[in-house]
Amino acid sequence: MARSTILVIDDEPNILKTVRTSLELEGFRVEVANNAGTGLAKVTEHDIDLVLLDVMMPGESGLDLLPKLRVASPTTVVVMMSGNATIETAVQATKGGAHDFVEKPLSGDKLLITVQNALQFARLSHEHQRQRGRVQADFAMVGRGAAMRAIFDKVSKTAPTTGRVLITGENGTGKELVARAIHEHSKRADGPFVKLNCAAIPSELIESELFGHEKGAFTGATQQRRGKFELADGGTLFLDEIGDMNPSAQAKVLRVLQENELERVGGAETIKVDVRVVAATNKDLAAEIAAHRFREDLYYRLAVVPIELPPLRARREDIPALAEHFLQQVCTDNGRKQKKLAPSAMTLIMQHEWPGNVRELKNVVERLAILTGDADVITEADVGDALPRVKAVKADFARGTPFKDLVAAAEREIIMAALEANDHHVSNTARELQLERSHLYKKMRALGIDHRADEDAS
């Protein structure tokens, strides 16, 4: 990891020397300046991650310099330092864009903690901005056909409002991407985006995950913990696979949506929350309601704006743009020169059924980009190797393979494709294939399909 660069601006030589020595011993790159003008010049000339800025300096003060630093380098984090701190000064610094305000003298431990916290904030801020750009780029490339244009239109109208959204569709169609796009285009974009996969959490723990718990609330609750609703305060909570939530948790989620308040498990304090909920499922909730597995009142609270994502096979016109986008993305991420898909390769990709939808397409394109090495063009043969299922069955049939072996080979490929499309989550795969989980495990063992030890943790 690259070393962070810190600029210390202070008119006291002893402070400059002490802070510089302490930070360099911790492995940081350190620049120093003894006045505002030199400090501003260094921010302009160097790539500075963090500025430690003294408030009181002769001539131009730190408070006067602060807005200039924010203009010169908006991504640089500034921590103000003062030996004569007042509440008014701290408030003024914070309003001016300072990340933190600390009193001098700074001990070694206090200095290091302040610097580490500020740099962590900078990294998280940069990652948030990077993710925001990636989400917007990905969402813009999800599709250009009529079906996706209608979804774009609905998202653009819904995102700036407070309306809750229920996203439905098969696994791999991009439900989380749509949820993130709604968040990023909303008034809550600077707030947290918190997600919870309801299918991946055991039913006895789901309420603790959602609402948090107090110390001693149950065996293993050794300390107080905030739940997803609290963590998402001021932002968006994405409840994925909400159709798998148990009835008890459904009732408590309904109450939070109605009253904007909750109690942690084992607690009596009522906590107010301001959260926009976006939910998603691959289940038919109308059927779940009819079977009394999902609350009808919760459905209507969630589905203020319903968005249904079509499977990739129903919008084949979007496949070329998606494939090219993912190819460019993976080459950029891996520092490789850009590749192209040969027309015949694209034709083969267009003909595939894509049971895993966009997720499977992205996975296959990434595999192609990596395995074709330094080749400039991905050929039909390359794609055929990445999608060998139909070809393999035809070849076996031509050699007179017994019918039962053909069936076993087809079953194996179908199960492997479904596992891949579901990130090797066996429970989700079983639901998609409409098999009992135990029966799927039995099939996998019989067909020699290995499964990961952590497959149900994701």
Q: What is the CATH number of the domain that holds 436?
A: 1.10.10
Residue 114 scores a pLDDT above 90: no
Asked if residue 186 lies in contact with residue 159, where contact means CB atoms within 8 angstroms, the answer is: yes
Comparing 28 with 408, which gets the higher pLDDT?
Answer: 28
Asked if residue 417 lies in contact with residue 394, where contact means CB atoms within 8 angstroms, the answer is: no
223-247 pLDDT, tens digit each: 888 899 999 999 999 999 999 999 9
Asked if residue 200 lies in contact with residue 457, where contact means CB atoms within 8 angstroms, the answer is: yes
Domain shared by 338 and 267, yes or no: no
Domain housing 364: 313-386
Which has the closest alpha carbon to 414: 433, 398, 427? 433
How far apart are alpha carbons 246 and 203 in whole angstroms? Answer: 6
Note the pLDDT of residue 401: 60
Strands 5-9 and 50-54: parallel
Asked if residue 122 lies in contact with residue 75, where contact means CB atoms within 8 angstroms, the answer is: yes
Token look-up 């609905």 returns 154
333-347 pLDDT, tens digit each: 988 889 999 988 998
Residue 457 scores a pLDDT above 50: no
Is residue 420 very low, low, confident or very high in pLDDT (cuts 50, 70, 90)? confident
* 0.75 exceeded by pTM: no
Note the pLDDT of residue 454: 38
Note the pLDDT of residue 138: 54
Asked if residue 432 lies in contact with residue 422, where contact means CB atoms within 8 angstroms, the answer is: yes
Domain shared by 317 and 253, yes or no: no
Which of 341, 356, 386 is a domain's end point? 386
Asked if residue 309 lies in contact with residue 148, where contact means CB atoms within 8 angstroms, the answer is: no
Domain shared by 179 and 276, yes or no: yes
Note the pLDDT of residue 422: 80
Domain shared by 66 and 122, yes or no: yes
Which of 367, 386, 405 is a domain's end point? 386
Domain shared by 47 and 66, yes or no: yes
Domain shared by 289 and 177, yes or no: yes
Residue 105: asked if its preceding bond is cis (omega within 30°), the reply is yes
- What 3-state class would DSSP assign to 129? helix
How far apart are alpha carbons 158 and 277 in whole angstroms? Answer: 13
Residues 341-361: what's their mean pLDDT?
89
Domain harbouring 108, CATH code: 3.40.50.2300
Tokens of 291: 């079977």
Query: Could you give the count of Cα atoms lying within 13 Å of 93 in the half-sphere of its Cβ?
Result: 26
| Residue 347 forms part of a structural domain | yes
Note the pLDDT of residue 85: 65
Is residue 406 very low, low, confident or very high in pLDDT (cuts 50, 70, 90)? low
| Residue 331 forms part of a structural domain | yes
Residues 197-213: what's their mean pLDDT?
91
Note the pLDDT of residue 72: 86
Q: Which residues sit opposite 101 in a β-bridge?
A: 80
How far apart are alpha carbons 395 and 380 in whole angstroms? Answer: 17
| 319-333 and 357-371 helices, crossing angle to 10° | 50
Note the pLDDT of residue 38: 93
| Residue 140 forms part of a structural domain | no
253-307 pLDDT, tens digit each: 999 999 999 999 998 889 999 999 999 999 999 999 999 999 999 999 999 999 9
Domain shared by 318 and 433, yes or no: no
Domain count for the chain: 4
Which has the closest alpha carbon to 298: 265, 252, 263, 261? 252
Is residue 2 very low, low, confident or very high in pLDDT (cuts 50, 70, 90)? low
| Residue 133 forms part of a structural domain | no
Cα dihedral across residues 157, 159, 161, 167: positive or negative: positive
| Residue 136 forms part of a structural domain | no
Note the pLDDT of residue 456: 40
365-385 per-residue burial string, b: 16 or more CB within 10 A, e: under 16: bbebbeebeeeeebbbebbee
Asked if residue 23 lies in contact with residue 6, where contact means CB atoms within 8 angstroms, the answer is: yes
Is residue 362 very low, low, confident or very high in pLDDT (cuts 50, 70, 90)? very high
Which of 69, 99, 127 is a domain's end point? 127
